[in-house]
């Protein structure tokens, strides 16, 4: 794949997921220190050979500067306005130490060929190796700690300066070594600054932003959940596009009180973590808590192009829900959950008054998002059958790596539209008087260990004409293929029919690896048992209710916009593809200039 051409949204998502999977949790500081000591002893052996001095040389020249740098970098980076953690600082010190390896080995080879030259340049070669440490540390710290070169340079220099001074005291030095050290540090420091500027160029040209700083915000958001939100939201606001966002709400009332809401915004709960529309179910539940404690937010038809550009946009959804509820008309008329299948798609329709709720699913076929064009066409197809309004939910309940979106015009999209129309048509024929509804939920799950967001698992049972139908909502980003069928099989004796839904909450992607659908981490048996228990609780909660449904449009709702996700991902991924070659060429130039320094002084 040519990394410089614009990717399709699906290619962009897959490529970005590969980048995220490279992010890992740093080991504990103790483990990094042990690794530093081990590597230093090896370098001591290379430097001194099999002598009694090799142990002390390794510990004093290599281990001591690395450990001190790891400790000092933490407060130094923080004082200068950067971000730093003990795990990250000690790992950086260890990796920087490893960078010295090729230089030490090269010196040993030169010494084996000509001992006199090797002895003459020993101190300068050690300074050269510490100069490469400066190069590596500065590139890393500018990206992960402080995007300002001036703000990061002291932290970048600390390991090299301490190491150079200790080596000079331990091995001895001449005035020539001082000149060589200054020149080498200047060369590699300048090379690091130049490389960072090269990496930043595509971002500045495409979006007018500091891409390295933005990468730091994203990394910090993964490391420390919730941080960097304002900076990232401001960036997404700057590239956003306004749309008319479709929002629907199904309201269940017990007397004057609202017992539960199903809120279906056709915007995407991403991109990840707590940025933009991510964690949308929890945000809406919090805003609507004064209306009811039971707020279910399944996935409306939308792709990453419909990610809200900031958290402030999510407030608009809550305000719209309030307006819709003010105008909602209630009824005690309903139908059962009517399923119809067309090709590889199935749709469930349930009538509420003179409106219909439709749930579209491609399970067991693994798919990702259903786009809004397809969802809206399915709504219009439902209205053609005679209902006053129609609201479509994307069940989003079967996923494998690489699963594609469902785009308007595809055969699957046509099947969804046709199945939706047929399901609504049949539901109109089976309406009856009287609605009972019960809810239950479980929260307190861990994103990292369970793959579920803060809303956990919510279930709703609706009984009409003696038949019980259920909606099982998991606050997660899709579900591993096959789990839906296990859940439905277990609750088959409790309900007449049901469908499994996920919120597509991208807060669960704020974890190492990125890919985190429901069932990827938590055992399937545990999920099934919890769901069955909640379903029984919801059945016990059944009581007579009135139900109403209303939909509307939020004007000038800012989202990422068409192709923005693909354009951003293309810039990120093309930069990642070319970074390794730019880094190699940058380092080669620095080494070449260093060789000229050695030729001049030796």
For residue 385, name the pLDDT band (cuts at 50, 70, 90).
Answer: very high
Statement to judge: residues 257 and 167 lie in one domain: no
Residue 34 domain-assigned (yes or no): yes
- Pick from 119-133, 212-226, 331-345, 392-406: least confident: 212-226
Statement to judge: residues 145 and 90 lie in one domain: yes
Task: Identify which of 108-122, 204-218, 326-340, 509-523 has the greatest average pLDDT.
Answer: 326-340
Residue 38 domain-assigned (yes or no): yes
Q: What pLDDT shows up at residue 438?
A: 98
Q: What pLDDT shows up at residue 18?
A: 52
238 or 277: whose pLDDT is higher? 277
DSSP secondary structure code for residue 518 in this structure? B
- Distance, in Å, from the CA atom of 190 to the CA atom of 198, rounded to the nearest integer, reads 12
Statement to judge: residues 185 and 122 lie in one domain: yes
Nearest to 287 by CA among 261, 308, 248, 251: 261
Residue 274 belongs to domain with CATH number: 3.30.365
Statement to judge: residues 200 and 247 lie in one domain: no
For residue 225, name the pLDDT band (cuts at 50, 70, 90).
Answer: low
Statement to judge: residues 570 and 553 lie in one domain: no
Question: What is the radius of gyration, based on Cα positions, of the chain?
Answer: 30
pLDDT at 3 over 50: no
Span 282-317, pLDDT tens digits: 999 999 999 999 999 999 999 988 999 998 999 999
pLDDT at 212 over 60: yes
Residue 337 domain-assigned (yes or no): no
Q: What pLDDT shows up at residue 1?
A: 41
Residue 375 domain-assigned (yes or no): no
Nearest to 271 by CA among 13, 574, 457, 23: 13
Statement to judge: residues 290 and 266 lie in one domain: yes
Residue 71 domain-assigned (yes or no): yes
Span 70-99, pLDDT tens digits: 999 999 999 999 889 899 999 999 999 999
Q: What pLDDT shows up at residue 510?
A: 67
Statement to judge: residues 121 and 151 lie in one domain: yes
pLDDT at 565 over 80: no
Contacts 24+ apart (CB under 8 A), 171-180: 171/61, 171/122, 171/123, 171/126, 172/123, 173/123, 174/123, 176/124, 176/601, 177/123, 177/124, 177/127, 179/601, 180/124, 180/127, 180/128, 180/597, 180/598, 180/601
How many domains does the chain fold into? 2
Residue 258 domain-assigned (yes or no): yes
Statement to judge: residues 589 and 551 lie in one domain: no
Q: What's the 3-state SS for 244-310?
A: EEEEEEEEEEECCEEEEEEEEECCCCCCCCCCCCCCHHHHHHHHCCCCCCCEECCCCCCCHHHCECC
Residue 506 domain-assigned (yes or no): no
| Across 260-282, average pLDDT | 92
Q: What pLDDT shows up at residue 2?
A: 44
| Backbone φ/ψ region at 451: left (φ over 0), alpha (ψ -120 to 50), beta | left
Query: Residue 422, SS3?
Result: helix
Statement to judge: residues 584 and 550 lie in one domain: no
Q: What pLDDT shows up at residue 227?
A: 67
Statement to judge: residues 263 and 190 lie in one domain: no
For residue 4, name the pLDDT band (cuts at 50, 70, 90).
Answer: very low
Domain containing 104 equals: 25-208+566-601
Statement to judge: residues 180 and 285 lie in one domain: no
Q: What are phi and psi of 355, to 5 degrees?
A: -125, 160
Report the percent of the chain where pLDDT is more than 90. 65
Residue 164 domain-assigned (yes or no): yes
Statement to judge: residues 174 and 265 lie in one domain: no
Span 515-544, pLDDT tens digits: 789 999 999 999 999 999 999 999 999 999
């Amino acid at each position: 794949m040519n990394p410089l051409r614009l990717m399709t949204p699906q290619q962009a998502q897959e490529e970005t997921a590969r980048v995220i999977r490279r992010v890992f949790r740093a080991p504990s500081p103790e483990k990094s220190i042990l690794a530093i000591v081990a590597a230093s002893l090896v370098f001591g052996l290379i430097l001194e050979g099999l002598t009694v001095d090799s142990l002390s040389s390794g510990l004093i020249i290599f281990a001591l500067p690395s450990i001190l740098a790891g400790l000092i970098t933490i407060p130094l980076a923080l004082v200068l306005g950067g971000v730093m953690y003990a795990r990250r600082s000690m790992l950086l010190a260890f990796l920087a130490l490893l960078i010295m390896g090729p230089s030490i080995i090269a010196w040993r080879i030169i010494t084996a060929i000509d001992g006199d030259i090797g002895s003459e340049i020993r101190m300068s070669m050690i300074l050269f190796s510490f100069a490469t440490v400066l190069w590596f540390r500065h590139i890393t710290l500018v990206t992960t700690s402080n995007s300002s070169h001036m703000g990061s340079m002291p932290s970048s220099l600390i390991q090299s300066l301490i190491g150079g001074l200790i080596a000079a005291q331990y091995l001895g030095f001449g005035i020539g070594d001082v000149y060589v050290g200054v020149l080498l540090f200047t060369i590699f420091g300048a090379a690091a600054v130049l490389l960072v500027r090269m990496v930043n160029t595509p971002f500045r040209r495409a979006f007018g932003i500091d891409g390295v700083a933005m990468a730091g915000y994203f990394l910090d958001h993964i490391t420390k959940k919730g941080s960097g939100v304002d900076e990232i939201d401001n960036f997404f606001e700057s590239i956003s596009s306004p749309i008319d966002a479709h929002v629907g709400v199904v309201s269940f009332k017990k007397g004057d009180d609202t017992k539960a809401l199903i809120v279906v915004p056709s915007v995407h709960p991403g991109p990840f973590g707590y940025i933009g529309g991510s964690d949308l179910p929890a945000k809406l539940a919090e805003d609507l808590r004064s209306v009811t404690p039971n707020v279910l937010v399944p996935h409306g038809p939308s792709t990453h192009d419909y990610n809200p550009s900031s958290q402030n946009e999510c407030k608009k959804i809550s305000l719209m829900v309030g307006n819709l509820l003010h105008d909602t008309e209630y009824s005690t008329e309903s139908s059962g959950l009517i399923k119809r299948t067309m090709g590889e798609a199935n749709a469930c329709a349930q009538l509420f008054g003179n409106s219909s709720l439709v749930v579209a699913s491609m399970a067991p076929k693994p798919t990702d998002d259903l786009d809004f064009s397809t969802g809206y066409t399915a709504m219009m197809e439902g209205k053609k059958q005679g209902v006053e309004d129609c609201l479509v939910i994307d069940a989003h309940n079967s996923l494998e790596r690489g699963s594609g979106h469902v785009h308007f015009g595809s055969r699957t999209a046509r099947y969804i539209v046709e199945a939706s129309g047929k399901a609504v048509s049949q539901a109109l024929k089976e309406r009856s008087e009287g609605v009972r509804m019960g809810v239950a939920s479980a929260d307190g799950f861990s994103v990292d260990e369970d793959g579920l967001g803060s809303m956990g698992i919510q279930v709703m049972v609706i009984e009409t004409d003696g038949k019980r139908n259920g909606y099982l909502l998991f606050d997660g980003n899709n579900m591993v293929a096959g789990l839906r069928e296990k859940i439905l099989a277990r609750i088959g004796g409790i309900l007449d029919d049901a469908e499994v839904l996920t919120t597509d909450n991208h807060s669960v992607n704020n974890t190492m690896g990125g890919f985190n659908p429901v069932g990827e981490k938590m055992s399937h048996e545990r999920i099934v048992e919890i769901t069955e228990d909640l379903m029984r609780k919801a059945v016990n909660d059944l009581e007579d209710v009135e139900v109403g449904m209303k939909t509307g449009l939020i004007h000038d709702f800012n989202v990422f916009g068409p192709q923005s996700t693909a354009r951003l991902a293309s810039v990120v991924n093309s930069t990642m593809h070319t970074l390794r070659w730019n880094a190699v060429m940058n380092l080669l130039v620095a080494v070449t200039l260093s060789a000229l320094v050695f030729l001049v002084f030796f």
